[in-house]
Amino acid sequence: MSTFSTPTNSHIAPTSKAKIVMQATGLVKRYGQVTALDGADFELRAGEILAVIGDNGAGKSSLIKALSGATLPDSGEILLDGQRTVFKSPIDARRAGIETVYQDLAVAPAMTIAENLFLGRELRRPGLPGTLLRMLDKRRMLAESAARLAELKVGIRSMSQALETLSGGQRQCVAVARAAAFAQHVVIMDEPTAALGVKEGNMVLELIRRVRDKGLPVVLISHNMPHVFEVADRIHVARLGKRAAVLNPKKISMSDTVAVMTGALRPDQLPAEMLAA
């Protein structure tokens, strides 16, 4: 069997005894004649970065949409901390502590970094007696933004500069930091390093590790195999609307991973050590 890359991820991966933070069983989602999810299972553990990979149309986005409340599956169960949960909207998922960083970033380029961090969750000053009017607390939002970014070692100095003045990688870091700042349980990232150069991609990968090390498990959807192997503790392979396998990136090569993803290699043909516990 081929060996392709030496994983550089030095973090101690969670063992099979690590707590299951989020779980899904038998998710089904149909769009007319198309079955996007065909009984997909999912399991995210405390302390891990779980990469979700799969060929085009394998059901990655549909899975993530179900986990983040963007779509309601036709059947199947989602459990958060062991409790059955139904997300009827992304707001439900956010309330439950799940933050998602979408590919389009959902940011306002002309607004400041602080305004973007608190977009939709603005801090306000106490209301004046007898009025409902509550002014935005810009000072606190600036201070808190600076604190959040510093905590994650994102090296951006001025929180009052417009987001559009930042590079693509820095903007992505702001989006990730925003998710990490508000998430109580899980951060889901959809292709966070797509369209970034090598240096900027590495900067975002570093940040993703810091988010995990801060105590938030991360679900990372990516087509970028070197990036997956750089940071993932386990690799969930989606195929034909199901979870085909969960792989151990420390034991399996990139080429064999791609072979499992495309169906050229069946998971039951792999030595047990290549499968994640």
Ligand X SMILES: Nc1ncnc2c1ncn2[C@@H]1O[C@H](COP(=O)(O)OP(=O)(O)OP(=O)(O)O)[C@@H](O)[C@H]1O
Using CB under 6 A, list all residues that contact ligand X: 31, 34, 36, 54, 56-62, 238
CB of 100 to ligand X, least distance (A): 14
Return the number of the residue (174 or 218) whose C-beta is nearest ligand X.
Answer: 218
Task: Name the residue among 68, 55, 47 with its Cα closest to residue 233.
Answer: 47
CB of 89 to ligand X, least distance (A): 16
Task: Name the residue among 247, 253, 254 with its Cα closest to residue 273.
Answer: 247
Q: Cβ(248)–Cβ(234) under 8 Å?
A: yes
Q: What does DSSP say about strands 49-54 and 218-221: parallel, antiparallel, or unpaired?
A: parallel
Return the number of the residue (58 or 114) whose C-beta is nearest ligand X.
Answer: 58
CB of 238 to ligand X, least distance (A): 6
Q: Which residue has the tokens 């989020």?
A: 22
Return the number of the residue (20 or 240) whose C-beta is nearest ligand X.
Answer: 240
d(CA 245, CA 267): 6
d(CA 264, CA 267): 10
Return the number of the residue (8 or 56) whose C-beta is nearest ligand X.
Answer: 56
Q: Cβ(229)–Cβ(223) under 8 Å?
A: no
Return the number of the residue (147 or 195) whose C-beta is nearest ligand X.
Answer: 195
Task: Name the residue among 25, 51, 53 with its Cα closest to residue 39.
Answer: 25
CB of 242 to ligand X, least distance (A): 11
d(CA 99, CA 92): 11
CB of 102 to ligand X, least distance (A): 12
What residues form DSSP beta bridges with 236?
Answer: 52, 246
Return the number of the residue (62 or 170) whose C-beta is nearest ligand X.
Answer: 62
Q: Which two tokens stand for residue 212?
A: 């995990």
Return the number of the residue (21 or 63) whose C-beta is nearest ligand X.
Answer: 63
* Sheet-wide strand order for 83-85: 34-45, 20-31, 75-80, 83-85
Q: Which two tokens stand for residue 254?
A: 């990139």
CB atoms within 10 A of CB 185: 17
CB of 95 to ligand X, least distance (A): 24
CB of 74 to ligand X, least distance (A): 13
